[in-house]
Amino acid sequence: MDSTTHAVSPLRQRMLDDMHLRKLEPKTQTSYIRAVRKLAGFLKRPPDTATVEDLRRFPLHLAVKRSLPASVSSSATRVAAI
């Protein structure tokens, strides 16, 4: 591994592969990765361990954190990413 190569977890590689298969644009892929990273931060554990209840609470957490609901576009991106 050289200095430009970064180790990628199996979960992240699966997500990258899935996004590639779906032919998502680079900006969309970046948004999806950001959304899943925020979910992991909220959970304080890997996102693939999220329960249905965790996924219900996550957008509520974001809305309270902002004190305003997220835009429809942002909310839709997060749901699609998860």
Looking at residues 49-62, what average pLDDT do you find? 90
Where do we find the tokens 């998860």?
82
pLDDT tens digits along 8-50: 889 999 999 999 999 999 999 999 999 999 999 999 999 999 9
Q: Say yes or no to pLDDT of 63 above 70.
A: yes
DSSP assignment of 36-57, as one string?
HHHHHHHHTS-GGG--HHHHHH
- At a CB cut-off of 8 Å and minimum separation 6, what does 19 contact? 28, 29, 32
- At a CB cut-off of 8 Å and minimum separation 6, what does 46 contact? 11, 40
